[in-house]
Structure formats: structure tokens, C-alpha cells
A = this chain, B = another copy of it.
Amino acid sequence: MAKRIHNFNAGPAVLPLPVLEEAQEHLVDFHGQGHSLMEMSHRGKTYDAVHTQTIADMREVMHISDDYEVIFMQGGASLQFAAVPLNLAPAGGKVLYADTGSWSTKAMQEASKLGYAMQQVAGSGDAEYTYIPTIDAARLDKDAAYLHITSNNTIRGTQYHSWPATGDLPLVADMSSDINCRVVDIDKFGLIYAGAQKNMGPSGVTIVIMRKELLARSPKNIPSLTNYATIAGKQSLYNTPPTFAIYLIGLVLKWIAGQGGLPAIEKTNRQKAAKLYALIDGTDFYRGTARVEDRSLMNVTFRLPSEDLEKRFVAEATEADMIGLKGHRSVGGCRASIYNASSLADVEALVDFMGEFERRNG
């Protein structure tokens, strides 16, 4: 059997081994059909079954009701930064954002650039984005088109653990880095989007889950490939979708179901994060960077006593087949991304290594 490293990459990130193995087995000859899924028409019977089943499985795993559309798009979260205001707000209309770090900021900048009246209603920029700010839902402008949040912040290692109650104002969430890491009540959201490359599949496909009634807002004069109503109206087959990436999402969903669904996934994720945070909290050698109550289940950010030690830590971890532990280049430090496909054993190996590294260097 091939070597398998401990992959703590922030994204693209670790995928479940059985998913990769199944994709590999059928890559050249898809279930005896004599050609690859990548070589099949997106309007043919075989791909259509994959496409339809993937959407059905997503509905099942995530408990998505019929009030919501499930759409596949391209362009990652970055295209959604534009698509959300283009579809949900009138030209130049008011849109609300909570700023919890780099990705929120980019979403806000994109809305401003496109001419919307972007208003920041909460933010944690005053403390280097180390916490999740409180959003006073009662004081939100009800004339705005939506409130946008970033549910998990990969760079700073923070995550929302409760949702602002926005009432009739649609809550829009970029869940790129924590979709399906836990049970989420979809009904609390107007729209959820996520690039697949952390918890759902490879890069190159974006998942959009949105309240059907919001489709009526999409104007006609925006690029078709950003138009939710256009794409939803064709069941995500308006043009050729990224078929292989969607197939992989389907395999990941089957893997989630096989693990016991999101309740079981969440339980394991909490165990994984607890182990790492317990180690960090039990010593002065490692120091967590996010406010304790806002810590992410997916991205555990921490510092060592010096940058030199951080460099050595990352280098020695890599030697020990643990990769991806360097913090984001914009903030430095260390980060362990422990997405769904990262196992308890991966985390235990890291915890052991961290303890041992401290004993040698503490």
C-alpha cells in the first residue's frame, strides 16, 4: 500500500482515502463503460444519474428542505462574492456584512467595487480578527438586501458557534471552510455557498444552497454564469458543469453518510479539535491565537515562543510526514487544518509530535 501522509493543508485539503481510491479505480473505465466519466456527455444517462444523485445525497445528508435549491457553480467563493450582491440586491442597493477577516473583507470589497452600498455592521478588525463579533440583529437595517457572514475563518482560526437571528433579512453565509463539519439548521439561512476544496471535494466546483423564493430577485442583465435563477432553472446544466468534481462531491457525501452522517462527523470533529486545543491550553509553549469561545473546529491556529521555533516546528513536522502546518503567509505562526477527512489518528499523531517537540525545545 502506498504511503499516506498526515495532511493538515488549509485547502485544497485532505480527501477521504476511500473516495480517492474509488475515483482512481474507475478513472479510465467508468464502471465497465469503456470510457472515463470525464469523457461522457453531461447530458448523457450516466452523468445525469451522478448529477441527480449527488444533489439528492446533499439534500439527505444536510437535511435541505424543498424550500431550497441546490446549485453547482464554478469560480469558487470569489465568484460568489460578486454573485451574491448581483443576484440578491438591486443595483446600488444596501448590503450588510460582518467582517471577520481576510475572506469577509474580500467579499465586502467586491460588493463595494460593483457599486453596492456596502455597510459593515460588525467586525473584529479591532483585535486582529481573533474573535467573532456580536451582531445585534434587532438593529440591522431591514431595507438591506441581506446580511453576509463568513462562518469559519481559515486564516485566524475563528468560527461562528451560533447564528444571528436576522428575521426576514436573508442571512448569507460563506461556508467554504466549514460546510458539513457539523449539523447546521439550513432554515436559518437565505443562502449558503461553499467552494468544495476543503470539506466537500476538489477545487473547481462551488455549492450554493438557497431559498427558492430568493431566485425571483435575480436580474436579467448580469452575466449568465453568475445568475442563480438561470443556473437553477437548468438544474446546474445551463452549460457544461465540472463533471468529475461533482462526481467526487457525490463520493464524499456517500462517505459522510457511511460515517454516520453529520452528527457523527461533528462528534469526531469536536474530539479532534478538543485534543489539539487541550494540548495548546495545557502549556505555555504553544499559544492559541483565537478567543477560546470562538475557536474553529476546522483550523487550529497557534504560535510557538519564537518564529525560529515555528520554522523548526514546521520543518520537523514535514520530516515526520505531517504537512500543511505553516500559518497563512499574511499572519505567520502555525495552523493545523483538521477538516472532515482528517482523522482522529491524524490529530493524535500531531498531538504526540507537538508534545514531543515541546519536550525537546521547551
Where the two chains meet, the residues of A that have a C-beta atom closer than 8 Å to any C-beta of B are: 2-5, 7, 9-15, 17, 20-21, 23-24, 27-29, 32-36, 38-42, 44, 74-79, 81-83, 86, 110, 113-115, 195, 197, 202-205, 220-226, 238-245, 248, 321, 323-324
When distances are taken between beta carbons in the complex, the residues of chain B under 8 Å from A113 are: 220-221, 224
Q: How far is the CB of A79 from the nearest CB of chain B, in Å?
A: 4
Task: Determine whether the beta carbon of A38 is less than 8 Å from that of B9.
Answer: no
Task: Determine whether the beta carbon of B35 is less than 8 Å from that of A5.
Answer: yes
Task: Determine whether the beta carbon of A204 is less than 8 Å from that of B74.
Answer: yes
When distances are taken between beta carbons in the complex, the residues of chain B under 8 Å from A82 are: 223-225
Task: Determine whether the beta carbon of A203 is less than 8 Å from that of B41.
Answer: no
**Chain A at the B interface: mostly helix, strand, loop or mixed?**
loop
Q: With A75-B225, A82-B225, A221-B115 as known contacts, state yes or no: A41 contacts B243, CB within 8 Å.
A: no
When distances are taken between beta carbons in the complex, the residues of chain B under 8 Å from A321 are: 34
Could you show 23 A-B contacts with beta carbons less than 8 Å apart? A3-B32, A5-B35, A7-B35, A10-B41, A11-B41, A12-B39, A17-B28, A20-B28, A42-B203, A75-B79, A78-B224, A78-B239, A79-B223, A79-B225, A81-B224, A113-B224, A114-B222, A203-B240, A203-B241, A203-B242, A204-B242, A204-B243, A223-B226
Q: Report the separation of the CA atoms of residues A21 and B36 in the bound assembly, to the nearest whole angstrom.
A: 10
Task: Determine whether the beta carbon of B2 is less than 8 Å from that of A78.
Answer: no
Q: With A27-B20, A79-B223 as known contacts, state yes or no: A39 contacts B9, CB within 8 Å.
A: yes
Task: Determine whether the beta carbon of A15 is less than 8 Å from that of B3.
Answer: no
Task: Determine whether the beta carbon of B78 is less than 8 Å from that of A75.
Answer: no
Q: Report the separation of the CA atoms of residues A222 and B81 in the bound assembly, to the nearest whole angstrom.
A: 12
